[in-house]
Amino acid sequence: MTATIETLPDVLSPVRFHQVGKTFGTGRKSVVALDGVDLEVEPGEFVCLLGASGCGKTTLLNLVAGLDQPTAGRIELNSSRPAVVFQEPALMPWLTAAGNVELPLRMAGVPKSQRRAKAAELLELVRLAGLGDKRPHELSGGMRQRVALARALASTADSTDGKPALLLMDEPFSALDAITRDVLQGELLRIWRATGTAILFVTHDVREAVRLGQRVVLLSSRPGRVVQEWDVEDAPGAVDEINTALRKVISSHAA
Ligand SMILES: Nc1ncnc2c1ncn2[C@@H]1O[C@H](COP(=O)(O)OP(=O)(O)OP(=O)(O)O)[C@@H](O)[C@H]1O
Ligand SMILES: [Mg+2]
């Protein structure tokens, strides 16, 4: 009897890029930001996207978030509502911390008592229990970024369609001092393990990428495309190798 090899049905990945390109503008002034990007994030996976300044990292996240459209290729999105955490927390200054976390739930039509409870639970998760009634200006930069993270988790948490959650983070800790950054990196790992959400995390810091990610994906200088990937879980020694590759990518652009 001949064995038949059956193709297993794909586990639904939150996002998959197929030869994605993005060009801004037309004619001589056009800028090719991304070209031929193939990338997939598995359910629950933590992927760090690394690349030189201007290589198209933010553009790539914006495409996933639906804030912009690709000009070539296709993005298969199986996550119901990817949430974004930006470099600056971008909180609503007139709302309290709890009010900011509740906002995506309010927009999704979640009843008041349920969103109160969810916001309290998420503020506890980011270790801000008891600070829900503070306004953004009363909080430190690190605390504000925790609120932004809780708000992002709120917008992925109420999905009832069974689609995998996806959190997009664009250099969320780069404006923070080294100690706060270190604490928040640890907190993010704890939260990732607790929630099981997939994370696509943009950084230009190799150490941060290796500490946080299970996989590090290096983009070339503009136009950005995937040049190399590393499985870095339990492989802290990858820092030197990745640094060398990143330097090569940057100098090839400058040459
Ligand atoms: N809306 C836009 N219109 C025109 N050009 C744009 C636009 N957004 C980005 N670009 C260009 O696309 C390229 C990639 O920009 P992007 O912001 O994605 O880079 P990045 O990798 O996030 O850089 P950084 O690390 O500095 O944040 C840059 O050359 C930028 O000038
Ligand atoms: Mg950017």
> Could you tell me if residue 234 is inside a domain?
no
Give the span between the Cα atoms of 70 and 153, in whole angstroms.
Answer: 26
> Could you tell me if residue 105 is inside a domain?
yes
| Cis ω before 223 (30° cut-off from 0) | yes
Per DSSP, the residues of 134-180 read --GGGS-HHHHHHHHHHHHHHHHHT--S-PPPEEEEESTTTTS-HHH
> Could you tell me if residue 233 is inside a domain?
no
> Could you tell me if residue 236 is inside a domain?
no
Query: What per-residue confidence (pLDDT) applies to 45?
Result: 95
Q: How many CA atoms lie within 13 A of 56 on its CB side?
A: 26
> Could you tell me if residue 75 is inside a domain?
no
Residue 69, ligand 1, Cβ within 6 A: no
Sheet of 166-170, strands arranged across: 83-85, 166-170, 198-203, 46-50, 215-219, 226-231
Nearest CA to ligand 1 atom 29: 54
Residue 33, ligand 1, Cβ within 6 A: yes
> Could you tell me if residue 122 is inside a domain?
yes
Give the distance, in angstroms, between the CA of residue 96 and the centroid of all CA atoms in the same chain: 24
Give the span between the Cα atoms of 191 and 126, in whole angstroms.
Answer: 8
Residue 24, ligand 1, Cβ within 6 A: yes
Give the span between the Cα atoms of 134 and 85, in whole angstroms.
Answer: 20
> Model confidence over 65-120: pLDDT tens digits?
999 999 999 999 988 778 899 888 889 999 999 999 999 999 889 999 999 999 99
Ligand nearest to the CA of 52: 1
Residue 180, ligand 1, Cβ within 6 A: no
Q: Is the pLDDT at 194 greater than 80, yes or no?
A: yes
Helix (H, G, I), strand (E, B) or coil at 104: helix
Residue 61 CA to ligand 2 centre (angstroms): 9
User: What pTM, to 2 d.p., does this model score?
Assistant: 0.90
> Could you tell me if residue 116 is inside a domain?
yes
Residue 71, ligand 1, Cβ within 6 A: no
Q: What total number of domains does the chain contain? A: 1
Residues 6+ apart with CB under 8 A from 217: 39, 47, 48, 49, 50, 226, 228, 229
> Model confidence over 201-254: pLDDT tens digits?
999 899 999 999 999 999 988 888 999 999 998 776 788 899 999 998 888 765
**Domain that includes residue 104, residue range:** 92-158
> Could you tell me if residue 166 is inside a domain?
no
- For the chain, the average pLDDT equals 89
Query: What per-residue confidence (pLDDT) applies to 157?
Result: 67
Average pLDDT over every residue of 137-165: 84
Residue 57, ligand 1, Cβ within 6 A: yes
Ion ligand 2 nearby residues (CB, 5 A): 58
Q: Is the pLDDT at 3 greater than 70, yes or no?
A: no
